[in-house]
């Protein structure tokens, strides 16, 4: 989402420690993604901090951890977090194939997106090719959500929509989902309400065609959601 031109914020040692703990928690469970749930465990696993003190004012920390463990071990969580996985950091390249449904009015057709992850210098590079009834579409970006955006932008002039969760009007990734998870998951946004753990969905999981929107409409909705959150915090 758009940000201002303020100087970049420097991560503190405590912040880095939380990220390390979160990654350990994700890998211990065999997860191929790093989400808010793992970050919360990372906060709970570390030393006392302003974050743990704030949380403890409202809930019992051991209870929070037990509930998170229960959710992470549930079949519902496992089903909602299957799909394409980001490539491991210790390899040079990874590829995957994602079947998707294309929608245009009452028309339907199946397509396949093949993608590759390549580390080049300090940035990740994702390349993808979509095979469908038209000419193959080739794009590249720094995360898979942006890959999907660039594919959609080429399909929209022809009236086609990609029926996946990342194309819904009310979904958008956080900066952390893009930077650390390769844009392979997004949040479902509700006006005036903060995104929650249960609002995370896989970017390329199939979606109801009635929920789809253009890239421009989706971005506008995300910006409106951001304004609704800021307005709520000022009350």
Q: Which of 22, 53, 80 is the last residue of a domain?
A: 80
- The sign of the CA dihedral 113, 3, 185, 87 is positive
Q: What are phi and psi of 138, to 5 degrees?
A: -120, 130
List the beta strands (DSSP E) in the chain: 93-104, 107-120, 123-131, 137-141, 161-162, 171-172, 185-188, 200-202
pLDDT for 124 equals 61
Expressed as residue numbers, the domain containing 44 is 13-80
How many Cβ atoms sit within 10 Å of the Cβ of residue 203? Answer: 25
Same domain as 157, residue 222 = yes
> For the chain, first and last CA: distance in Å?
23
Q: Please say which residue of 80, 104, 127 terminates a domain.
A: 80
pLDDT (0 to 100) of residue 145: 96
How many CA atoms within 13 Å lie on the side-chain side of 174?
A: 17
Q: Of 79-88, 90-99, 127-136, 176-185, where does the model show the most confidence?
A: 127-136
* DSSP H or E run through 74: none
Mean pLDDT of the 110-134 span: 83
Alpha-carbon distance values, 53 to 22, 44, 104, 115 (Å): 19, 10, 51, 42
Q: What is the pLDDT of residue 107?
A: 97
- Among residues 24, 54, 80, the one where a domain terminates is 80
Extract the tokens encoding 115: 């993608």
Say if 212 falls within a structural domain.
yes
Which residues in 44-157 belong to E strands, given as ranges?
Answer: 93-104, 107-120, 123-131, 137-141
Reduced to 3 states (helix: H, G, I; strand: E, B; else coil), residue 163 is coil
Predicted local confidence at residue 206, as pLDDT: 95
Indicate whether 22 belongs to any domain. yes
Residues 121 and 75 in one domain: no
In this structure, are 175 and 75 located in the same domain? Answer: no
Give the confidence band of 117 by pLDDT, cuts at 50, 70, 90.
confident
- In this predicted model, which residue has the larger pLDDT, 169 or 29? 169
Inside any domain, residue 124: yes
Residues 27-63: tens digit of each pLDDT: 777 777 778 888 888 888 777 888 888 888 888 888 8
- How confident is the prediction for the chain on average, in pLDDT? 83
Q: How buried is 73 (Cβ within 10 angstroms: 0-12 exposed, 13-18 middle, 19+ buried)?
A: exposed
pLDDT above 90 for 169: yes
CA distance 173 to 140: 18
Torsion sign (Cα): 133, 172, 222, 74? positive
Same domain, 99 and 165: yes
Q: Are residues 101 and 209 in the same domain?
A: yes
Q: Are 169 and 212 in contact (CB under 8 A)?
A: yes
| CA distances to 48, 96, 181, 200, 215 from 11, in Å | 18, 32, 18, 25, 32
Tokens 């409202």: give the residue.
58
CA distance 61 to 202: 28
* Phi, psi (degrees; rounded to nearest 5) at 187: -100, 145
Name the one residue in this structure whose structure tokens are 């989400």. Answer: 35
């Amino acid at each position: 989402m758009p940000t201002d031109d303020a100087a970049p914020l420097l991560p503190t040692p405590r912040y880095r420690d939380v990220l390390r703990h979160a990654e350990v928690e994700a890998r211990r469970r065999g997860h191929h993604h790093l989400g808010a749930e793992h970050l919360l465990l990372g906060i709970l696993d570390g030393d006392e901090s302003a974050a743990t003190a704030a949380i403890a004012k409202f809930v019992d920390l051991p209870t929070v951890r037990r509930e998170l463990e229960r959710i992470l071990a549930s079949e519902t969580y496992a089903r909602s977090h299957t799909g394409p996985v980001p490539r491991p950091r210790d390899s040079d390249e990874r590829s995957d194939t994602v079947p998707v449904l294309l929608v245009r009015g009452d028309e339907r057709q199946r397509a396949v997106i093949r993608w590759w992850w390549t580390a080049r210098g300090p940035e990740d590079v994702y390349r993808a090719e979509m095979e469908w009834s038209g000419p193959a579409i080739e794009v590249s970006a720094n995360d898979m959500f942006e890959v999907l955006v660039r594919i959609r932008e080429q399909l929209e002039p022809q009236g086609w929509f990609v029926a996946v969760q990342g194309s819904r009007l009310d979904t958008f990734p956080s900066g952390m989902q893009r930077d650390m998870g390769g844009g392979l998951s997004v949040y479902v946004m509700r006006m005036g309400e903060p995104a929650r753990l249960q609002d995370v969905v896989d970017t390329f999981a199939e979606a109801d065609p009635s929920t789809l929107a253009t890239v421009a409409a989706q971005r506008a909705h995300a910006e409106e959601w951001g304004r609704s959150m800021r307005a709520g915090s000022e009350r």
